[in-house]
């Protein structure tokens, strides 16, 4: 008898689960429930910057769902789960039966209790509707104040810089990007922002958002200063959307607790993406890693297991990769010192910052920072991540790396990290490309001459 699979949430976890279920289960019913259209939240900055049209944000269409044999219930919110009767209740009072259920409800932006935060042109910029509200003010020359200097805020800040807005950032912590960089790395980013004309105010908070006679906002700070803004963007963090399972026997902590199969405490109910608190690949502890790669992996593993497989997920890796107006900032794994052996190299004038953290002869954490046009920066990010994710010992190459921290390529090749990564497939089969494409366009790759520096062979040396 065919199974009924129900998925709540149209983000990456939900959509990758749909496609994976279809790889294993051609006949089972799949119903997608989502209170928004299926679109890419990570692409909103490109939409704000005018790089793509709204249509290109979409990650599914009626034709796509029909071709995948998915019943799409869009614009309706799921309100309750009956794990005893295996039914999902929707906001209109209707319900859906399921054999397996995936909860991929994502996360929501936190709204700070600041007087005046409910005014027009004070937005979170977390949803498509938020982006539409901001577009009328996000123009060249407009003043934009960000409340919060974290990862999400800086993704949007980068888009606003491309538009030509005048930018200021207010952060209550003593440094910017406090959950991504250490003090030294954050100081270099702050200096870079200052050179780009971005005002940065740390160690202070917004106490009130007033309204001026010309319609602009008067953003008052706890240290007595005030900023004038055409648009205020609240970027004070996110929280998992766990309300759906409140009152049920599905266990939660910060998010919905899941095991290595992405199962919740109820075996036929799964969770994935920002809402799921699952295993960390380095510590084994249950953590929330609210990033796109983790959501995709969660969706694939959950989808396969919903379709009758028995696949184990080794865990997600904490990572943040951010472009700050042309400066790449990256942190992986256990990047906080916590007494670990570290190797740091810094060149403030470029700027270049590299910090590697070790557990014995394994790299377990890293911070890399440098200009986006440094080819070695981009390649080294991937190689350092590979070392951490594959848990590969450096062995005799550790002394070399400690002496030459800018040369990760030789140890990477010598320790056969790529070979180990290729052996650790997620689904034990090649992962196909997503079936949905904007206007059915296929990606194109433009050769980069600088790439030859890293992949080309060494010149032949004539023997004398």
pLDDT-based confidence at residue 453 (cuts at 50, 70, 90):
low
Domains and CATH numbers, the chain: 4-108+239-306 (3.50.50.60), 122-236 (3.50.50.60), 326-417 (3.30.390.30)
Is residue 374 pLDDT above 90, yes or no? Answer: no
Are 369 and 316 contacting, i.e. CB atoms less than 8 angstroms apart?
A: no
pLDDT-based confidence at residue 430 (cuts at 50, 70, 90):
confident
Pairing of strands 352-359, 319-324: unpaired
Are 315 and 281 contacting, i.e. CB atoms less than 8 angstroms apart?
A: yes
Say how far apart CA 83 and CA 99 lie, in whole Å.
Answer: 10
Average pLDDT rounded to a whole number, residues 70-76: 97
Average pLDDT rounded to a whole number, residues 72-91: 97
What are the helix (H) ranges across 107-182?
128-135, 151-163
Pairing of strands 286-287, 276-279: antiparallel
Is residue 417 pLDDT above 50, yes or no? Answer: yes
Average pLDDT rounded to a whole number, residues 10-29: 97
Tens of pLDDT, residues 110-151:
989 999 999 999 999 999 999 999 999 999 999 999 999 999
pLDDT score recorded for residue 377:
78
Check whether the bond before 351 is cis (ω within 30° of 0). yes
Give the rounded percent of residues in the chain with a pLDDT score beyond 70: 96
What are the helix (H) ranges across 164-251?
183-195
pLDDT-based confidence at residue 464 (cuts at 50, 70, 90):
very low
Cβ-based burial of 166 (10 A; exposed 0-12, middle 13-18, buried ≥19) = middle
Q: What is the mean pLDDT of the chain?
A: 94
Average pLDDT rounded to a whole number, residues 81-86: 98
Tens of pLDDT, residues 229-283:
999 999 999 999 999 999 999 999 999 999 999 999 999 999 999 999 999 999 9
Are 299 and 16 contacting, i.e. CB atoms less than 8 angstroms apart?
A: yes
Phi, psi of 5 (to 5 degrees): -105, 130
Is residue 307 pLDDT above 90, yes or no? Answer: yes
Residues near 423 by beta carbon (within 8 Å), at least 6 away in sequence: none
Q: Quote the tokens at residue 165.
A: 């807005």
Tens of pLDDT, residues 145-174:
999 999 999 999 999 999 999 999 999 999
Nearest of 329, 417, 407, 322 to residue 367 by alpha carbon: 329
Q: How far is CA 24 from CA 12, 293, 305, in A?
A: 19, 22, 9
Phi, psi of 74 (to 5 degrees): -100, 150
Overall residue count recorded for the chain in this entry: 464
Average pLDDT rounded to a whole number, residues 442-457: 70
Average pLDDT rounded to a whole number, residues 48-64: 95
Is residue 19 pLDDT above 70, yes or no? Answer: yes
pLDDT-based confidence at residue 428 (cuts at 50, 70, 90):
confident
Look up tokens 């890693």; give the residue.
Answer: 289
Is residue 460 pLDDT above 80, yes or no? Answer: no
Query: Which of 40-54, 406-420, 437-451 comes out lowest in average pLDDT?
Result: 437-451
- The residue with greater pLDDT, 81 or 455, is 81
Is residue 42 pLDDT above 70, yes or no? Answer: yes
Sign of the dihedral defined by the CA atoms of residues 336, 200, 203, 170, in that order: negative
Residues near 455 by beta carbon (within 8 Å), at least 6 away in sequence: none
């Amino acid at each position: 008898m065919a199974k009924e699979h129900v998925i709540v949430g149209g983000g990456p976890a939900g959509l990758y689960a749909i496609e994976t279920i279809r790889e294993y289960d051609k006949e089972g019913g799949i119903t997608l429930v989502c209170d928004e259209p299926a679109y890419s939240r990570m692409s909103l900055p490109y939409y704000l910057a005018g790089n793509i049209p709204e249509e290109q944000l979409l990650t599914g269409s009626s034709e796509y769902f029909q071709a995948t044999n998915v019943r799409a219930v869009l614009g309706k919110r799921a309100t309750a789960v009956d794990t005893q009767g295996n039914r999902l209740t929707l906001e209109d009072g209707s319900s859906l039966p399921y054999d397996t259920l995936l909860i991929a409800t994502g996360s929501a932006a936190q709204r700070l209790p600041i007087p005046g935060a409910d005014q027009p042109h004070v937005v979170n910029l977390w949803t498509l509707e938020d982006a539409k509200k901001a577009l009328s003010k996000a123009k060249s020359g407009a003043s934009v104040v960000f409340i919060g200097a974290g990862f999400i805020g800086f993704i949007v800040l980068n888009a606003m810089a491309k538009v030509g807005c005048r930018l200021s950032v207010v952060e209550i912590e003593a440094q910017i990007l406090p959950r991504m960089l250490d003090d030294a790395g954050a100081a270099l980013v702050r200096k870079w922002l200052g050179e780009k004309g971005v005002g940065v105010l740390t160690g202070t908070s917004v106490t009130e958002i007033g309204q001026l006679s010309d319609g602009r906002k008067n953003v008052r700070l706890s240290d007595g200063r005030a900023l004038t803004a055409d648009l205020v963007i609240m970027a004070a963090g996110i929280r998992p959307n766990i309300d759906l399972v409140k009152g049920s026997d599905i266990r939660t902590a910060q998010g919905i607790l899941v095991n290595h199969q992405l199962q919740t405490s109820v075996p036929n109910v799964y969770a994935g993406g920002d809402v799921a608190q699952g295993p960390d690949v380095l510590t084994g502890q249950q953590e929330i890693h609210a990033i796109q790669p983790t959501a995709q992996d969660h969706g694939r593993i959950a989808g396969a297991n919903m379709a009758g497989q028995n696949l184990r997920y080794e865990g997600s890796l904490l990572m943040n990769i951010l472009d700050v107006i042309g400066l790449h900032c990256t942190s992986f794994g256990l990047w906080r010192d916590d007494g670990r052996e570290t190797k740091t190299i810094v060149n403030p004038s470029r700027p270049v910052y590299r910090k590697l953290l070790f557990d014995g002869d394994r790299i377990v954490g890293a911070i890399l920072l440098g200009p986006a046009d440094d080819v070695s920066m981009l390649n080294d990010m991937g190689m350092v991540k590979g070392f951490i994710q594959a848990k590969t010992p450096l062995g005799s190459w550790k002394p070399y790396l400690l002496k030459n921290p800018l040369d990760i390529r030789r140890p990477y090749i010598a320790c056969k990290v790529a070979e180990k990564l290729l052996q650790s497939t997620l689904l034990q089969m090649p992962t196909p490309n997503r079936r949905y494409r904007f206007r059915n366009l296929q990606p194109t790759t433009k050769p980069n001459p600088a790439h030859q520096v890293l992949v080309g062979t060494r010149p032949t040396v004539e023997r004398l």
